[in-house]
Structure 1
Amino acid sequence: MLRPAVTTAFVLAVAGLLSGCAGMVIGAGATTATAASEERGLEGAVDDVKIRAEINHLWFQKDVDMYRQVTLTIKEGRVLLTGTVPTPDARVEAVRLAWQPAGVREVINEIKIDSGDSGFGDYARDVAISQKMKTALLFDKEIRNINYTVDVNEAVIYLMGIAQSDAELERVLAYARDISGVRGVVNYVRLKNDPRRNGS
């Protein structure tokens, strides 16, 4: 469990590792700049990294497979769980543990039970869909792509983040729906002025 005295630089460095960012040489400075430019701000990003680290720690202690099979997406204390686990009990336990860290405001359970039908081909398809979606957001100048996260499981796109406007969100959703092979789009994006962002 992370101690309250952990420094911002350390937490943001960990964020880079957890998100699979190459280039540790860049250091926490670049990560800090990126986090500060997000709608949730630097403090919100740090809080989310703490939550991510603690949930991953709890899952790893409980079951290494749970840690490997369930994907975390966190924005402003909202925790989205995706991935596939072997049993309903494992699904319930993953959700229970996700509620444990301080600062968790909501846990959204999109974990699926393993049907035994998926394989490497399905994984490769999901990765391809994810990359197409992220690329589309990156090159659209009317979308602040840094505020969005994209996760794909079994050809379903899960979106989370903060939209500047209804128009921006509609552009994001349109990209998701237009990607070949997508079976569904699940939207957990909130608008910038949504009162729920402040706990209202």
Structure 2
Amino acid sequence: MIKVNRGIGRVLKTVSVCALLAVPLAACGPLQMPLEDRTGNDQWLDTQIKSGILGEFSKVDHTYLMDVNIDIWEQNVMVTGMVDSKGKYYDVVSLVKQDNRIKTVYDHLVIADQETIDAYHRAEDEYGKNAVPTDSATQSVSDVWIESQIKALLLAEKGVSSVNYRWQSVQNVVYIMGEAQSDAELEKVLSIVRRIKGVTKVVSHIAKA
């Protein structure tokens, strides 16, 4: 059953990535971008950069599309996920950095052995969006569940524009970037994320407007 779930999860992620790569850039434009607290042109540039990086991943190694996360805000790129060798690590970082429009790369890519990566995928597929039972002493809360909680809580919180943030949870460490409109919003966002069950650490690259 786990293998079936894993297959479905990977297919869904592949479909979403392929959809991004397949959409002709000319068919969309800055005016069609989501309503974030920044210009449409700025959002559009981020979309182009991400599409380019994912395109390079697809040419070099399709596993990068599954195991590496690319998040961008105002041409600052946050790289998270896991790869099974130093060679793949340097390969991914090199592919990301070749776009000279990128201002900063926040590198949080983890090198782990293949057994650890496979076990991680199995656990994520098994638990999906459900938290691990509280009586479990050996298993961590699902990263998928943590990410869904962040989305729901930020969306519901007054004074927080959730569309201005990007986040990933990897082995229960949350990496978040974006832009807060005030010190109060920044503190509110970080406080919400830190209180979520299972989060062991929060690494913030959130800028202030």
TM-score interval (norm. to shorter): 0.7 to 0.9
Q: How does 1:1-20 map to 2 (within 5 A)?
A: 17-18=19-20
| Per-residue CA distance 1:111-138 (angstroms, 9 max, x = gap) | 1112433232246300100000110000
RMSD across aligned positions (CA): 2.5
Aligned residue identity for 1:166? D
d(CA) in 2 for partners of 1:55, 1:134: 25
Q: Give the 3-state SS of the residue equivalent to 2:149 in structure 1.
A: helix
TM-score by length of 1: 0.77
CA-to-partner distance for each residue in 1:14-49, whole Å, 9 max, x for gaps?
Answer: 999439xxxxxxx959x8252xx2123200111001
Distance 1:59 1:15 in 2: 11
Partner in structure 2 of residue 188 of structure 1 = 205
Counterparts of 1:16 and 1:183, CA distance in 2: 32
Contact residue 51 and residue 101 of structure 1 kept, 8 A: yes
1:17–1:101 CA distance, 2 compared to 1 (3 A): same
Counterpart amino acid of residue 145 in structure 1:
S
Provide the aligned length of Structure 1 versus Structure 2: 170
Contact in 2 for aligned 1:148/1:162 (Cα 8 Å): yes
Within a 5 Å distance, the mapping from 1:18-167 to structure 2 comes to 18=20, 32=32, 34=34, 37-115=35-113, 116-117=115-116, 118-122=120-124, 124=128, 125-167=142-184
In the other structure, the counterpart of 1:5 is none
The offset of 1:96, in angstroms, is: 0.8
- CA–CA distance in structure 1, aligned partners of residues 149 and 192 of structure 2: 9
Displacement over 6 Å in runs of 4+: none
Q: For residues 77 and 15 of structure 1, do their structure 2 counterparts lie closer, same or farther at Cα, with a shift above 3 Å needed?
A: farther
Cα distance in 2, alignment partners of residues 136 and 91 from structure 1? 33
Return the match for 2:190 from 166, 173, 180: 173
The runs of 5 or more residues in structure 2 that have no matched partner are: 1-15, 22-26, 129-141
- Matched position secondary structure for 1:38: coil
Q: 1:188, 1:107 → 2: CA distance?
A: 11
Give the Cα–Cα distance (whole angstroms) in 2 for the partners of residues 150 and 77 of structure 1. 15
User: Could you tell me the percent identity over the aligned residues?
Assistant: 29
Q: Between 59-68 and 169-178, report the one with greater CA deviation.
A: 59-68
Q: Does structure 2 retain, via aligned residues, the 8 Å contact 1:51–1:102?
A: no
Tell me the SS of whatever aligns to 1:90.
helix
State the distance in 2 between where 1:170 and 1:95 align: 31
| Gap regions ≥5 residues in structure 1 | 1-13, 20-26, 193-200
